[in-house]
Structure 1
């Protein structure tokens, strides 16, 4: 009788372990796909912004329109897959004008980039904000 109980408990333990492993594996797989979709949306958005600005500066209207469509698609994906604070920063950038022509727009974009870094789990020191602005736009913003 004791052997049967031991065998039953062993089988239940194996089943519980397998179920737990399956559940954790599934969650990890889901989180991995979400992170991949989020990263792709962020990269596509940043690329499209750069290409739109380049097309505008070159006066290439056709290229600008193509990249604006790509930008809109990436923006929609950020709204779906992005973390809340990143979506809020994107909305702030968009509300500021989203042309990267004024200081307010540049600062909003820099904050958006910093929130993307935060969303990806990159822990920055406070001084990096100024360095990112300097690298992107050759300006030194006030800290936010």
Structure 2
């Protein structure tokens, strides 16, 4: 309802809705008769996320690069909707994935400044502690 002129709306993280969107567009690239809203129900584990296609962006034009290590937050702050959206058990990428993403960002000419876009970077303190030495 908020974006009536959009043909497709993908709501949520990578997962079953993403696969459905790719399938639909592979079958037919014409505009649908009415707006199609695809909502992710079954999220892809973050360890299965592909490397971002940084090479498709003009990374040199950006002040910083962004990376996501985790999604979700274990806390229930009354002002925050993250646990309701992404869960209270933070899902994680592996340290090796983060290193590969950082290497790719650098190879694509990105700045030395990186912003972790996590809901709560230390939501899983053990995992954050394991990542930091890298």
TM-score calculated relative to the size of structure 2? 0.25
Q: Which has the larger radius of gyration?
A: 1
Structure with more of its chain in helix, by fraction: 1
TM-score using structure 1 length: 0.24
Which one has a larger percent strand, Structure 1 or Structure 2? 2
